[in-house]
Every structure is written in C-alpha cells, then in structure tokens.
C-alpha cells in the first residue's frame, strides 16, 4: 500500500514538472527610480497586490523604488542579466539598449497625449514588443513620465538664448544629449540618484523633467525657475527579464502579463490627472513657473527639427521604419 502511494506521489510530481510546475512559487524583484509615494510607485503597488491575489500567493512581488537598485541604466542591465526580474523605466533610458526608442524621444514629436496614445497603442505596440524581446526584455505595458520642461537655479529660461552658459543635467540618452547640444548647452549626463546633490553643489544649474518627477525627486528644492517648454513627451514601460520569463510556465506568464496586456490601465492617467496640481505645487514651493508663448517656443522647436534628422540618420536599426510609421500613424490618429 505504501509503495502504491509513493508511486502515485512520484507520478503527480513528474506530471506537475512536465506541465511547467503550475504550483511552483516564484518571486519578482522589480525596480524603478520612481520615488515611494509617486503615482508610478503607487501603480506598481497595485500591480503587486493584483498579481499576488490572482496567483493565490504563488507569485510574490518585491518592489524597489527610489533608485534603490541604482540609476535607470544600472537597473536595465540587471534586468537583462536576470538579476532583477522586472523594472519600470523611461524610454530615454531604455533607448540605450533598444535604440529605436530614441525616435520616441525626439522633441515635439507628438502634439498631444491623445495622439501619443493612439500611435503607441494602436500602431507601434507589436513593433516594440519584438524589439524589446530581441534585447532580452519582455514588454508588459506602456506607462509614462509625461512632458518634460526646464528647471533652473539662477535665471529664468524663456528662449534658447537664455540657456547660454548654464550647465544642464541631461538624461543619459543620445537624443537628449543631441538636443541640448543643438540648443548650445553644455549637457552633463547624470544618473537620477545623483541629480539633487549635483544641483545642490553646483555641478549643474538646471535640468529637464516633468513637474511631477521634479517634485517626487524633490529637485524643486534646488531651483527657482521652471519653464513649461514641454519639449519631450516621454513614455515609459514596465518590463520583465526574458531570462526570468523563459523559466515560467504558461499560467504564470498569463498572470504576470495581465489580461489584454493592460496590467496597469491607470499608469498613464494617474500621471496626467495631477499635472495641474503639480504645477500649482511648484508655485507654492516658491518656484517661478513660466508658460512660454508660441514665439518663445519657436527656437526650441527649430532645434528639434535638426535633432530628428540626426537621430534617424545615426541611430540605425529600424529607426527609419519606426519614424516613418509614426508619421503615418499621426496622420491617422489626428492632432
């Protein structure tokens, strides 16, 4: 009788192994530079709760916010190597590996949130899913940082000429560096965790980012002026490591991906819904916020046109195809 029971248990064990280990436990360590309490970190907390509940505790999540695992480039490399199982990263950082993402960072590429959503969701989703996977990343869903603007310490910026002589922190991305160079600025690439001390010590005197991220990272404590140039719409993405993904069974993958690839439906809307409040908060923090006129923005947009040509010509890969597809999609999506 004992031998029969033992054989039965062995058979069940083998069957479960063959079927992919349906009940195997797994842990997802997911990192982001987004600070604790920010909409991004809150959205990741919702994802954690949802997946752990749906998997009945078989999938555990450990979230590392606020750059605990380093800057975005460091986090990205850990995900590719499989040391981290997932991450929430901006397109600017991801573009260092998936170079076609540089196209999305071209200044003034999109005219509105609605246009960006239409292009990314309805026209480019599968293109980027394949590009991510080829680099060891499994795309889950788009998120966003929003529209980037300029914060400075010592002088307001109303037109490109006002940037002369100002040391600006730039994101570690070729398109960002190219844009600032075109504006005549000496850009200094600095990882997110080091930006605030660099502002405080004078290593740099300004930066570009969204009002939300500026406040979330407390960069507003080191500036006096913020100009709403809205020069780059910056998407972000939630991703898993392909090395990790390939160890999972179909049920685990389905749970981790989320139905219809909409694991975090509020990720973008949460950022947009508080933009006006964030601008008001900057003002309350004694930061002078300037809304440029169309004439003020003309110089910024002129420089952007040059950068587009540089990016498309030098980045390579499928950049030209992606850019052409965006232009075609914009015509179909509307303003």
Q: Tens of pLDDT along the chain (335 residues)?
A: 434 443 443 343 433 344 444 457 999 999 999 888 888 888 899 899 999 999 998 999 999 999 999 999 999 999 999 999 999 998 888 988 999 999 999 999 999 999 999 999 999 999 999 999 999 999 999 988 899 999 999 989 999 999 988 999 998 778 888 899 999 997 899 988 899 999 999 999 999 999 988 998 899 999 999 999 999 999 999 999 999 999 999 999 999 998 655 566 667 887 888 889 999 999 999 999 999 999 999 999 998 888 888 888 788 889 999 999 999 999 999 99
Q: What is the pTM of this model?
A: 0.84
The whole-angstrom separation of Cα 214 and Cα 222 is 10
Alpha-carbon distance of 237 to 44, in angstroms, equals 12
Any domain includes 278: yes
- Are 142 and 104 spatial neighbours (Cβ–Cβ below 8 Å)? no
Pair of tokens at residue 113 = 């949130």
The one-character DSSP state at 35 is: P
Q: Are 264 and 238 in contact (CB under 8 A)?
A: yes
Residue 289 lies in a domain: yes
Question: For position 157, what pLDDT does the model report?
Answer: 94
* Tokens 């995900």 belong to residue: 79
- Domain assignment present for 10: no
Output the pLDDT for position 269: 82
- Report yes or no on 108 lying in a domain: yes
The CA distance from 286 to 290, in Å, is: 13
Residue 208: strand pairing partners:
150
Identify the pLDDT of residue 242: 98
pLDDT in tens, 255-285: 999 865 556 666 788 788 888 999 999 999 9
75 with 69: CB under 8 angstroms? yes
CA distances from 303 to 106, 290, 326 (A): 11, 20, 20
pLDDT at 265: 61
Q: What is the pLDDT of residue 41?
A: 87
Residue 15: inside a domain: no
Cα dist from 194 to 67, 69, 177, 199, 332, whole Å: 10, 13, 18, 9, 41
CATH of residue 225's domain is 3.40.190.170
Q: Show the domain range for 177.
A: 26-333
Handedness of CA 49, 50, 56, 59 (dihedral sign): negative
Alpha helices in 67-112 (DSSP H): 72-81, 91-94
Position 2 in a domain: no
Residue 11 lies in a domain: no
Q: Are 53 and 87 in contact (CB under 8 A)?
A: no
Residue 206 tokens read as 């300004």
Instruction: Please name every residue paired with 62 in a beta bridge, in sequence order, or none if there are none.
Output: 29
Q: How many domains does the chain have?
A: 1
Q: Is residue 284 part of a domain?
A: yes
């Amino acid at each position: 009788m004992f031998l029969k029971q033992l054989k039965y248990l062995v058979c069940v064990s083998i069957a479960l192994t063959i079927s992919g280990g349906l009940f195997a436990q797994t842990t997802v360590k997911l990192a982001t530079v987004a600070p604790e309490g920010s909409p991004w970190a809150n959205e990741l907390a919702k994802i954690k709760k949802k997946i752990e509940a749906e998997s009945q505790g078989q999938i555990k999540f450990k979230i590392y916010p606020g750059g605990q695992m380093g800057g975005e480039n460091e986090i990205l490399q850990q995900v590719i190597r499989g040391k981290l199982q997932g991450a929430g990263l901006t397109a600017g950082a991801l573009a260092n590996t998936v170079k076609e993402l540089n196209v999305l960072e071209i200044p003034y590429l999109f005219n509105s949130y609605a246009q960006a959503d239409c292009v990314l969701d309805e026209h480019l989703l599968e293109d980027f899913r394949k590009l991510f996977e080829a680099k060891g990343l499994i795309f889950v869903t788009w998120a966003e940082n929003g529209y980037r603007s300029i914060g400075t310490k010592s002088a307001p910026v109303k037109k490109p000429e006002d940037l002369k002589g100002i040391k600006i922190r730039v994101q570690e991305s070729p398109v960002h560096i190219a844009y600032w160079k075109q504006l005549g600025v000496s850009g200094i690439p600095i990882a997110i965790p080091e930006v605030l001390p660099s502002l405080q010590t004078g290593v740099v005197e300004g930066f570009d980012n969204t009002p939300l991220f500026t406040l979330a990272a407390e960069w507003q404590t080191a500036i006096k002026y913020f100009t709403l140039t809205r020069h780059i719409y910056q998407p972000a993405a939630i991703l898993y490591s392909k090395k990790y993904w390939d160890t999972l069974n179909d049920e685990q993958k389905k749970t981790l991906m989320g139905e219809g690839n909409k694991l975090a439906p509020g990720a973008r809307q949460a950022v947009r819904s508080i933009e006006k409040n964030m601008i008001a908060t900057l003002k309350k923090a004694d930061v002078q916020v300037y809304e440029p006129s169309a004439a003020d923005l003309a110089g910024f947009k002129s420089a952007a046109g040059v950068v587009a040509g540089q990016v498309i010509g030098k980045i390579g890969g499928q950049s030209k195809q992606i850019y052409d597809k965006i232009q075609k999609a914009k015509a179909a999506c509307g303003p």
